[in-house]
Amino acid sequence: MSELIKLTGVQKYYGDYHALRDINLTIDQGEFFSLLGPSGCGKTTLLRTIAGFEGVSSGTVMIAGRDMADVPPNLRPTNMVFQSYAIFPHLSVAENVAFGLRKSGMSKADKATAVDEALTMVGLAGYGARAAHALSGGQRQRVALARALILKPKVLLLDEPLSALDKKMREHMQVELIRLQRAVGITFILVTHDQEEALVMSDRIAVMFEGEIGQLADPETLYRRPNSRRVAEFIGKMNFINGTASATDEGAKVLVPGLGKCTIPAEQFPQGVTTGEVAIGIRPETLAILFEGDKAPRHEAEAVVDEVVYYGDMTYYDVRVSEVEKPLTIAMKNLIGRPVLDVGAKTRIAWDERSLVVF
């Protein structure tokens, strides 16, 4: 895969406010790339600097080997799907989709064919004559997609495109977007605050905090080996236990209060092996409640159920373990014959040192 977008040392100030702090990243041709972060972290600003709606205070934005410093948005090889979709209310669906074709030099018939193809691609065949205001949220988004993709941009920028949709529709559109991206082979850059959405859709994710990139990795690495506590806390749920570590040859011996002692290799220390006071991260699904007759594959500990949250397919337990100050969250699948425990029930939990991350 070849490099399509290269940002070098991008800084952005609004007056005194430092919106983007030294952003360096490259995005490859055909990649599905996500910018993920809490609101106000600069992810939308970064997207808009790529689109050309915001200038940079310093640094360079290169797209397809060309410096974009003096290139206005209308001349950049990027197209955007806006958060509000920005469907022109005075035009029909077909006129909206054909909006960018004015300068294409295509004949009227060619344009009509291209519009039909674009609408078919997003699943809106036959909607061309509809008035834009008669569309539902999901349909508006498809029109916005068709309108951008018909121009065959090198990069499609998506600014929180799914945030206005209800949960069912959102999940459906996530799958559709992945399918579409694979079909057209265009680089997609998605801005989202929804970590699940980013994990589901992206090839790589840049997690942003306060104007800088906290971690840039593929979804699995990001989830399994977050490089900092704030990334770990932002992506999914994570339990933290304060423990102590002492270095050994290939890692460290770690004492996890309430659970026990174990040896952890250096790769589970994303910030390098530290000794003394450490924070130990454990994902809820890597712990397990041991029901009657269950045996822990590695280690087990005594626990008392403190809180039960039933999700249908899953049950989330908060359990108290002696010597651990905060209850630990455990996610259990509701398999056949598996009971849901009551609050106050005494139980045993299983844990595995291979799933720990130590900071």
Residues at the site binding other proteins, with contacts judged by CB under 8 A: 51, 53, 72-75, 78-80, 82-84, 86, 88-90, 92, 99-100, 102-103, 131-133, 147-148, 151
Nearer to other proteins, 86 or 279 (CB): 86
Nearer to other proteins, 78 or 329 (CB): 78
Q: Could you tell me the smallest distance in angstroms from the CB atom of residue 67 to other proteins?
A: 19
Nearer to other proteins, 132 or 199 (CB): 132
Q: Could you tell me the smallest distance in angstroms from the CB atom of residue 98 to other proteins?
A: 10
How far CA 109 is from CA of 106, 114, 132, 207, 224, in Å, comes to: 8, 9, 22, 45, 52
Q: Could you tell me the smallest distance in angstroms from the CB atom of residue 91 to other proteins?
A: 8
Nearer to other proteins, 101 or 279 (CB): 101
For the beta sheet containing 58-63, the strands, ordered from the edge strand earlier in sequence to the opposite edge, are 17-28, 3-14, 58-63, 66-67
Q: Could you tell me the smallest distance in angstroms from the CB atom of residue 289 to other proteins?
A: 49
CA distance 110 to 15: 48
Half-sphere exposure in the Cβ direction for 258 (13 Å, CA): 22
CA distance 319 to 305: 4
Nearer to other proteins, 149 or 332 (CB): 149
Q: How large is the angle between the packed helices 108-121 and 137-149, nearest 10 degrees?
A: 130
Q: Could you tell me the smallest distance in angstroms from the CB atom of residue 99 to other proteins?
A: 5
Nearer to other proteins, 102 or 108 (CB): 102
CA distance 287 to 206: 28
Nearer to other proteins, 53 or 291 (CB): 53
Take residue 234 and report the two structure tokens written for it: 């932002």
Take residue 354 and report the two structure tokens written for it: 């291979």
- Nearest Cα neighbor of 341 from 294, 296, 300 is 294
Residue 281, burial from CB neighbour count under 10 angstroms (0-12, 13-18, 19+): buried
CA distance 196 to 101: 35
Q: Could you tell me the smallest distance in angstroms from the CB atom of residue 202 to other proteins?
A: 22
Q: Give the β-pairing of 58-63 and 78-81.
A: unpaired
